[in-house]
Amino acid sequence: MLKKLLLTFITISSFAFASAFASAFAFGDDFTSMNPTVKVTSYKKLFTDKIIAYGSGSGTVISKDGLIITNNHVIFDDNEQKPLDAFEVCITFDVSKEPECIYTARLVANNKDMDVAILKLNQTDVFGQSVPDLKYLNYKTSSEPKEESTVQVIGYPGSGGDTITITKGQISGFDNYNNFTYFKTDTDFDHGSSGGTVMDMEGNYIGIPTYIVTYSENVGYFLDLREAVSWIDSHLADKSTVNAVAENQLKEELARIKKANETLKFSYDEYPKLSLEAPQGWRFYEISDDGIYLEQEKLTESAGLSVYINYYQYKIDDGYMKKLDEELMKLKDQYPDFKKEETEFNGYEAIKLTYTSYSSRRIAIYIPYGYALVGLSYYIDLDEAEKQEPAMEEVLKTIKLNSDIKNDPGLDQTISFDDPGFSVTMPDDWRIQKNMSNQPMELLADAVQKDNFEGSLYISYQMIPKDERELTPKDRADEETKTVSKLIFKKDDAMLDGLPGWLYTYEYEGDDYQEMHKKLTFKLQNGDYEFTIEYDDLSDTFDENISDLEAIFNSFKFTGEDLENKGKYDFGSLNYNFNDIQYHRYANAITELADKGVIKGYEDGSFKPEKLVTRAEALKIILASKNKLEEEKGLGEEIDFENYDTTGISFRDVKTSDWYAPYIKYSEENKIVSGYADKTFRPNNTVNLVEALKMIFGVYEIPLWQGETIPWFKLYMDKAYELSLLGRGIDDAGHQLTRAELVDIVNDVYNNADNSSWNFY
């Protein structure tokens, strides 16, 4: 599968700091050369060791050695219920300029109920230089917030541009939350101010911006700082914690972008060693391992350039470019002036796209270079074209690829991780690589098959949603497949190397008319987390690759904690159980009961769904399904039909050695069947609808009305209608059932055994 073919056009808006900052501090303290209100950005370490910005807000320096008070929610991962991994601190040294974002901090303590956290600034910046002298605020204020008094909020709101921002307002009341006192104000602030500084007009540090409740207008809630003093005092000497991998990664990223903005140059050390040089007036906003975003800020309307490197597992050849062309041409229907052309860009063969969206001209350039696809995207405001086009050209002409072309990334067939601990090996003509980006966050690795540009295999790892952790694999599988219209295969007790899970395969129509795809989803639970393995491909190719998938699953080795079933693998057929049920309307029911071992096919791999079912076959299927249900519930009431005593069977046409004798004997003993007046059972006769319903209701002990009906079988039909057991075209009591029709009814009863409205189990 071609990943991330179409690059996103990114815009970053900013506006200048509007207030006269110094006048806000007319009370005497001069914070213009180092402000104690800092900007805090928290980062999450991914399982690929990449980091991603995950939370942001403000903070207040409260000590000379760099202790910082902020909100807990600024530094906390609510999804995983634990603190984040690395913390960037930006310090304002000149209130008319943006803060210096070259500092990092470590977590000292946090309190979720109070929504307060303490960070400790590292004593050197990302270049190893000592942190300058810090100005700080006294958090042990004796000032008492009073209603209608004026306060000012200092922070870095997202709506306030890139410089520090002060807003003023009045205290409008008080409230209690989690047994802590908050005061309310009409001060205008947003989430970026969380954890910042609230001061009264005498310069006292009195509160922490915490959250906003919106009614007819915004109401700001601030924690009364006096509530936090004793907690802060008790944790000042706590030892800070650090995730060294995340912190080092953050330092590298901050140093990289700072250096790039000082020199206006950047080059990658890794293939294809892309480099570029920006003229004065440009700024690098983001530099990751596989992408850059920079912007020209001196124009009336800023012009931005995105650069992205997509690494493929093989050489980007004609097949790849053909698929890329198909994807790109989908834009043609959306934009009437869409234009695609082969071109040359700085001496490299390239594809250029141009189209108009609203009031701007969008341009994207793709450069295939060995196993890397370099993408550039930008837009030109039509009203600013005379200024923006020359500015953009100045940057574009500096872009170079400084490595010789390499057609092979040299990937191994096996990939492994320490956290989460696992490894997996690809078959011949497959290659797998770690996620080179921090998006999507959950993606660990992706694999492709040589010359297969439609298929993709992804391995992800993520936390299981809280509301699903207590559900059984069957419940989760049933819920996720509720809306799947063409379910092919489902197994809710799958396992790989001892990890329990569930999987399903379904078919869907792709973007192209009648282009059928199959997708397999396999989820493996590891505590509160789970692996997800997904394979999506054209239906025919999917079928051809079943053996490869089986090899991949059998190569999966879980290297985490020891498991009770370590070494056990059980994932079923991955596709249709039988070779003659594809597109059959009851394929899903047949697959489900086959997966449970309730039904079996014929030696030639068929199920013969339209073959009429015999009385003996019907009885065995019904009893086997009930037996499986008893086993699943762990009630210990399963019947051992293999060793069931068949002596004394009363039907003269049933021998004790017949395969169906145990089922008939059990049913006779339990008054489920009675046979015919001539003391025969007629096991090889076909079964009609009402006969099958009578067997099902008897085996599952489904309660029936005890009155008499005319005809006699009406009560069975009424119950079947009540329970919605009868499919389309099956409404005649004498209808001779096919194997598929019987399986559908039995599967429906099985799946509703716990349905309280059915009242039978």
The answer to whether position 186 is within a domain reads yes
Q: Do 521 and 420 sit in the same domain of this protein? A: yes
* pLDDT over 90, % of the chain: 61
Q: Do 325 and 471 sit in the same domain of this protein? A: no
Q: What is the pTM of this model?
A: 0.80
- Concatenating the DSSP letter of every residue in 195-254 gives T-EEEETTS-EEEEEEEEEESSSEEEEEEEGGGTHHHHHHHTTPPPB--HHHHHHHHHHH
Q: Do 540 and 602 sit in the same domain of this protein? A: no
pLDDT reported for residue 218 = 53
Q: For residue 386, give the H/E element and its range.
A: helix 385-396
- Read off the pLDDT of residues 550-599 as tens digits, 9 standing for 90 and up: 999 999 999 988 889 999 999 988 887 788 887 788 888 888 888 788 99
- Read off the pLDDT of residues 110-142 as tens digits, 9 standing for 90 and up: 999 999 999 999 999 999 999 998 999 999 977
Among 169, 203, 229, the domain boundary falls at: 229
Residue 706 is given by DSSP the state -
pLDDT band at 172 (very low <50, low <70, confident <90, very high): confident
Q: Do 218 and 98 sit in the same domain of this protein? A: no
pLDDT reported for residue 16 = 27
pLDDT band at 456 (very low <50, low <70, confident <90, very high): very high
As a whole number, the mean pLDDT across the chain is: 88
Q: Do 602 and 724 sit in the same domain of this protein? A: yes
The answer to whether position 420 is within a domain reads yes
- Read off the pLDDT of residues 224-264 as tens digits, 9 standing for 90 and up: 899 899 999 999 999 999 999 999 999 999 999 999 999 99
Count of CB atoms within 10 A of residue 33's CB? 12
User: Helix (H, G, I), strand (E, B), or coil: what is residue 658?
Assistant: coil
Per residue, the 3-state secondary structure of 47-95, as one string, reads CCCCEEEEEEEEEEECCCCCEEEECHHHHEECCCCEECCEEEEEECCCC
d(CA 662, CA 647): 9
Residue 674 is given by DSSP the state -
pLDDT reported for residue 760 = 62
Q: Do 459 and 538 sit in the same domain of this protein? A: yes
- Concatenating the DSSP letter of every residue in 14-50 gives -----S-HHHHTTTS---SSS-SEEEEEEEEE-TTS-
- Read off the pLDDT of residues 702-760 as tens digits, 9 standing for 90 and up: 989 888 889 989 999 999 999 989 887 888 999 999 999 999 999 999 988 877 666 66
Q: Do 386 and 433 sit in the same domain of this protein? A: no
Given a cut of 50, whether residue 17 has pLDDT beyond it is no
Would you state the structure tokens that stand for residue 67, as one six-digit string? 């202790």
Cis peptide leading into residue 272 (ω within 30°):
yes
| Residue 77: closest CA among 118, 109, 45, 40 | 45
Among 217, 245, 273, the domain boundary falls at: 245
User: Helix (H, G, I), strand (E, B), or coil: what is residue 492?
Assistant: strand
pLDDT band at 211 (very low <50, low <70, confident <90, very high): low
Q: Do 687 and 561 sit in the same domain of this protein? A: no
The answer to whether position 296 is within a domain reads yes
Q: Which residue in this structure is represented by tokens 């806000």?
A: 24
Would you state the structure tokens that stand for residue 375, as one six-digit string? 């993408």
The answer to whether position 240 is within a domain reads yes
Would you state the structure tokens that stand for residue 354, as one six-digit string? 């141009």
The answer to whether position 504 is within a domain reads yes
d(CA 128, CA 140): 33
Strand partners, 449: 430
Angle between the 615-633 and 689-699 helix axes, to the nearest 10 degrees?
30
pLDDT reported for residue 594 = 87
The answer to whether position 258 is within a domain reads no
d(CA 624, CA 646): 17
Q: Do 225 and 238 sit in the same domain of this protein? A: no
pLDDT reported for residue 159 = 63
How many structural domains are present in the chain?
Answer: 5
Q: Do 388 and 284 sit in the same domain of this protein? A: yes
Structural domain of 541:
414-575
The answer to whether position 443 is within a domain reads yes
- Read off the pLDDT of residues 312-322 as tens digits, 9 standing for 90 and up: 999 999 999 99
When comparing pLDDT for 191 and 308, which is higher? 308
Give me the CATH number covering residue 160: 2.40.10.10
The answer to whether position 255 is within a domain reads no
Among 245, 273, 293, the domain boundary falls at: 245
Q: Do 291 and 240 sit in the same domain of this protein? A: no
Q: Do 567 and 672 sit in the same domain of this protein? A: no
Give me the CATH number covering residue 270: 3.40.1000.10
Exposed, middle or buried: residue 748 (CB in 10 Å: 0-12, 13-18, 19+)? middle
